[in-house]
Amino acid sequence: MQVLDQLRVLSDERFLVIYESLAQQGFGPLDGEVAKLMKFRPQAIRKLAMSIRAKKARALLVSRTNTEMAYEIFGTYLLKDHRDLVTGFLDATGVRHENGMIEDLEGNPPDAAKLKAALVELDKKFAPDDVTLYLAMCAEQWPNLNALDELWRARSAAAVSK
């Protein structure tokens, strides 16, 4: 549920940036679902501003507690726009991967002793919001690694209090 919790603390503006970055030919990644919800024809949804579509898509994800879809949207965004963040974390924590893609999650967890140092380095190179977003995904991927969840919760709480 870390990914949905992270989605809940994102501002509408931040989610809009993510949603717009995934748009293809004028359609956002969940515009088909948004169109159904609003009883629009699929093509007609493009008449609505992207900000409205993103807000509806976000509400749809949260209301249906669709962790998998939120995870997919965030993962696609990070791999598309910030692959170096993903690979940087995986390399720094000893996770074997192929250009950011991990085959064996259970047998290939991050080294807990390397987490804090990896985050310090990532924060120097990338927007902290994106690092925190990826950390939420990692906490979801490796639920048995409590250190990941603790680090994400500390960062997420700090972001909310700002």
Average per-residue pLDDT for the chain: 93
Q: pTM for this structure?
A: 0.90
What's the pLDDT at 162?
Answer: 44
Q: Are 61 and 99 in the same domain?
A: no
Secondary structure letter of residue 108 according to DSSP: -
Structural domain for 10, as ranges: 2-65
d(CA 70, CA 143): 17
Output Rg (C-alpha) for the chain, integer angstroms.
16
Q: Which residues are CB-contacts of 7 (< 8 A; sequence separation ≥ 6)?
A: 15, 58, 61, 62, 70, 74
Q: Are 31 and 93 in the same domain?
A: no
The domain tally of the chain equals 2
**Digit-coded pLDDT (tens) for 22-79:** 999 999 999 999 999 999 998 899 999 999 999 999 999 998 778 899 999 999 999 9
Of 17, 36, 65, the one marking the end of a domain is 65
